[in-house]
């Protein structure tokens, strides 16, 4: 499936770890909010925890934008929980302040166009507006982590509803 900006984001229902507990999560649960949905390759790897913890540490800035963050991989909810419950000093994540989604069936990764033939997801990041339309799509190769500052900047620019020039930041002039 080829996703396009402005089209409805593919809905899903998956198991997740939310505040250390197993829950079912649907994208439609977040209708009316901005959603930052990001895919990462696998639990217990090296680049992934840098992204997951960075988003968690900055959650209040996204919440101030009326946005939620959802992290997703093809790992099981049990793997997610084990990774969260493992201390950072031992290769774990520690607490995560947003849901980690389990795409064990790989249907969500496939629907968002990030599933590799090897069965893991590329680093895909999608910003979805309150009407659940795709507003931003970024997909990159496995070895390079994303930039939380840039994700927040793009979210703020999209929310402004204005023309935002290169390197625009909140408080800068629009075109």
Question: Rounded to an integer, what distance in angstroms lies between the CA atom of residue 110 and that of residue 79?
Answer: 20
| Three-point CA angle 71, 75, 81, nearest 5° | 75
Q: Could you tell me if 80 and 100 are in contact, meaning their C-beta atoms sit under 8 angstroms apart?
A: yes
Indicate which residue of 17, 48, 93, 157 is catalytic: 48
Determine whether 72 is an active site residue: no
Smallest CA-to-CA distance from 154 within 71, 62, 29, 73 is with: 62
CA distance to 4, 18, 21, 175, per residue, from 99 (Å):
25, 5, 10, 36
Helix, strand, coil % (nearest 5) of the chain? 30, 25, 45
Residues labelled as active-site residues: 48
């Amino acid at each position: 499936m080829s996703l396009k900006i402005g089209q409805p984001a593919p809905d899903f229902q998956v198991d997740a770890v939310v505040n250390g507990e197993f829950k079912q999560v649907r994208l439609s649960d977040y209708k009316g909010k901005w959603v930052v949905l990001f895919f990462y390759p696998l639990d217990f790897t090296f680049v992934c925890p840098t992204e997951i913890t960075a988003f968690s540490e900055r959650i209040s800035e996204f919440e101030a934008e009326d946005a939620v963050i959802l992290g997703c991989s093809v790992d099981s909810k049990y793997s997610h929980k084990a990774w969260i419950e493992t201390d950072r000093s031992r290769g774990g994540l520690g607490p995560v302040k947003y849901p980690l989604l389990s795409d064990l069936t790989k249907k969500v990764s496939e629907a968002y166009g990030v599933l590799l033939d090897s069965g893991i997801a590329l680093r895909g990041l999608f910003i979805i507006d309150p009407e659940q339309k795709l507003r931003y799509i970024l997909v990159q190769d496995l070895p390079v982590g994303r930039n939380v500052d840039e994700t927040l900047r793009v979210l703020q620019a999209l929310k402004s509803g204005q023309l935002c020039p290169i390197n625009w930041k909140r408080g800068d002039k629009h075109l």
